[in-house]
Amino acid sequence: MTEKIGKGVWVEIHNIVLQPGERAPQVPVDTAKVPLEMCVKGFLAEPAAVGEEAGIVTAAGRRLRGRLSAVNPAYQHGFGPPVPELSMIGQELRRLLAERELRDES
Amino acid sequence: MKADSYQAIMAQRNEIMRQSVGIDYQKYATGVLAFDYEGLMADTGYDIDRIREVQRRTAVGATPLVELPNLTRLARLLAPSGHGARIFVKDEAANPSGSFKDRRASLSVHEARQRGYPGVIAATSGNYGAAIASQAAKAGLRCIIVQEAFDSQGIAQPEIAEKTRACEAYGAEVIRLSVGPELFYVFLKLLKETGYFNASLYTPYAVQGIETLGYELAQQLYERERVFPDAVVVTHAGGGNVTGTARGLIEAGAIHSRIIAASVDLSGLHMASDHDFNRKSFTTGHTGFSLPFTTWPDRADVPRNAARALRYIDRFVTVTQGEVFYITQALAELEGLERGPAGNTSLAAAFVIAQALREEQIVVVQETEYTGAGKHPIAQLNLARRMGIEIRRGDPKAGKPGQSIVIPESPEQLAVAEVDLMRVRHSYLHNALQSLQKQDTLTAADYAFLAAETRLDPTTVEEMIDELIGQTG
């Protein structure tokens, strides 16, 4: 038995907008093979469990229904580790400018 | 057919558009292709002073024009003697939501409010979404942003993920979709359901909002140096940035400043491909938008696009993803300005262009954008690596979009590739002919319109069209 999430919790719902067979005629083959999916966040309108059908009220005040996919979903984007291919650029350029100035002075 | 099926909604597109923009585009038609572009722009009733007044109320615009002396020194190191123009940048990241898109959004949202719409909707995965959400918050309007945000594996493009966060921070509802042009169908359905204003990037308001950018930069430079810029380099995607900036420069009297459009080369990647979606390290300012929109502007989410870049572009160049990442790092470490990568597309081009100009000349890069989590070279390169894209130092021109990103080893490796404007014009005329119905015959007004669109004389247009008709029989 999955736990019910309470009304008013910030959640995300997921819907299939178009099935693979319903995609627009102009989409490339790889895109045509997969559904058009939609995710929207909002406050849960009534208690529901993850994976179940649920209703939400969005930030714009609209009532939407879909499969409850995440509870208080995190913002996952960040930076990740520094990229070595970028790390030396500043030093290289400062050295180049310094060498030039030394040459100009001499 | 279900009332909200793809076919049913697409069939209602003209009616939905008319309701949601409040402009009767039909009344501007002057031929089978031709329409009164200047009439459409003038009928908004906004002149430059009025736009500035609207923008001042929400602290949009009046951004600093910053000289980049260290990048100029570097350019002079590589340029022939006596060459290496001074480089300036308009620091548009200083706008409320962090990009020049606030200028476009301010006028759109102001107009929506004036006309009594209860809310605004914009279909955008970029800075414009945050700009609309920010303006709507201040105006007290509801806001929905529709994004193409993730691929079929559920992997979000980090820059778009950051835009989701920013829009939500401003209190907007964000509809996140997987890859595909049917975003437009969802967008139309929402406009129909809500009766909100279509805050398209391509209405006259959204383009006129940028006129202040060109106007300001001309004025700021003139006040400081008593000259107008020799060249203004503009990151080019859908055409609004080029069009609005150029119109503003003309309005300020800077009629001799060369308008140079710059895009990131993403050739070979399909913009509607689920597979290619996360193999692009740039979500805007790239050829996937700029080439289709320059060669046929009327593919937008309004019947007539107010962004008509080909009317204003003097030169069109591309740079590689690796070059833009390199100059982004250089801007941070030599000039102390950490700014988002896509906005630096024009800076990468300007760095090269400056080397061919004389020392006393001035080149202005007309935007920066904010940077942060997701919206950063590090985030983009880490995603690229995860998607199997090779990243290395070397000759940037060896990079192949979707397969490799080559970061220059030294600044002299930065170069621009010319886009042949005659080919672009040819392609525009080809697309114009393709848009005709069988029974349509071009009138004198159409030829004059096409001449204005392509900046060719009417006789050349007629010759090129005859040749195209001959080819297609």
Question: How confident is the model over A25-67, as pLDDT tens digits?
Answer: 999 999 999 999 999 999 999 999 999 999 999 999 999 999 9
Residues B225, B344: one domain? Answer: yes
- The answer to which of B137-151, B391-405, B431-445 has the lowest mean pLDDT is B431-445
Please give the Cα distance from A64 to B364 (Å, whole number). 47
Please give the Cα distance from A38 to A54 (Å, whole number). 14
Could you tell me which of B179, B146, B156, B158 has the C-alpha nearest to residue B270?
B179
Instruction: Establish if B389 belongs to a structural domain.
Output: yes
Position A23, amino acid = R
At A13, which CATH number? 2.30.30
Domain total in chain A: 1
Measured in degrees and rounded to the nearest 5, phi and psi for residue B251 equal -60, -35
Q: For residue range B58-69, what is the model confidence (pLDDT) as tens digits?
A: 999 999 999 999
Instruction: Establish if B57 belongs to a structural domain.
Output: yes
CB atoms under 10 Å from CB of B114, counted, come to 11
Only one residue has tokens 């609309």, namely B132
Say yes or no for a CB contact (<8 Å) between B378 and A42.
no
A1 pLDDT above the threshold of 60:
no
Residues B315, B357: one domain? Answer: yes
Percent of chain A with pLDDT over 90: 91
B462 pLDDT above the threshold of 90:
yes
Measured in degrees and rounded to the nearest 5, phi and psi for residue B149 equal -120, -25
Domain total in chain B: 2
- The residue range of the domain holding B243 is 49-98+207-418
Residues B338, B468: one domain? Answer: no
- The residue range of the domain holding A32 is 4-75
| B170 token code pair | 């401003």
Say yes or no for a CB contact (<8 Å) between B149 and A39.
yes
Instruction: Establish if A101 belongs to a structural domain.
Output: no
Instruction: Establish if B20 belongs to a structural domain.
Output: no
Instruction: Establish if B177 belongs to a structural domain.
Output: no
Residues B305, B426: one domain? Answer: no
Instruction: Establish if B376 belongs to a structural domain.
Output: yes
* Cβ atoms of residues B28 and B39 within 8 Å: yes
Instruction: Establish if A105 belongs to a structural domain.
Output: no
Residues B465, B406: one domain? Answer: no
Cβ contacts of B49 within 8 Å, gap of 6 or more: none
Using a CB-CB cut-off of 8 Å, the residues of chain A touching B144 are: 58, 60, 62
Cβ contacts of B447 within 8 Å, gap of 6 or more: B458, B461, B462, B465
Percent of chain A with pLDDT over 70: 96
Pick from A62, A85, A86: which is nearest to B173 by CB? Answer: A62
Across chain A, how many H-helices and E-strands are there? 3, 6
Residues B214, B304: one domain? Answer: yes
Instruction: Establish if A58 belongs to a structural domain.
Output: yes
Burial (CB count within 10 angstroms: exposed 0-12, middle 13-18, buried 19+), residue B430: middle
Cβ contacts of B303 within 8 Å, gap of 6 or more: B14, B17, B25, B26
Whole-number Cα distances in Å, B211 to A50, B367, B381: 49, 13, 34
Whole-number Cα distances in Å, A3 to A6, A12, A47, A48, B180: 9, 16, 10, 8, 35
ipTM of the shown complex: 0.96
Size of interface A-B (CB pairs under 8 A): 162
B473 pLDDT above the threshold of 60:
no
Residues B458, B310: one domain? Answer: no
Instruction: Establish if A85 belongs to a structural domain.
Output: no
- DSSP annotation of B388: T
Helix (H, G, I), strand (E, B) or coil at B348: helix
Instruction: Establish if B435 belongs to a structural domain.
Output: yes
At B257, which CATH number? 3.40.50.1100
Residues B394, B463: one domain? Answer: no
pTM score above 0.90 = yes
Residues B304, B340: one domain? Answer: yes
Residues B306, B357: one domain? Answer: yes
Q: For residue range B418-447, what is the model confidence (pLDDT) as tens digits?
A: 999 999 999 999 999 999 998 899 999 999
Chain center to CA of B67: 23
Residues B262, B406: one domain? Answer: yes
pLDDT at position B260 is 98
Pick from A17, A59, A92: which is nearest to B172 by CB? Answer: A59
| DSSP state string for B219-268 | HHHHHHHSS--SEEEEE-SSSHHHHHHHHHHHHHT-TT-EEEEEEE--TT
Q: Tell me which chain B residue has its CA closest to the CA of residue A96.
A: B74
Instruction: Establish if A64 belongs to a structural domain.
Output: yes
Q: For residue range B228-282, what is the model confidence (pLDDT) as tens digits?
A: 999 999 999 999 999 999 999 999 999 999 999 999 999 999 999 999 999 999 9
- Chain A nearest-CA distance from B150, in A, is 9
Say yes or no for a CB contact (<8 Å) between B334 and A34.
no
Only one residue has tokens 């476009």, namely B104
Q: For residue range B331-388, what is the model confidence (pLDDT) as tens digits?
A: 999 999 999 999 999 999 999 999 999 999 999 999 999 999 999 999 999 999 999 9
Pick from A28, A58, A76: which is nearest to B273 by CB? Answer: A28
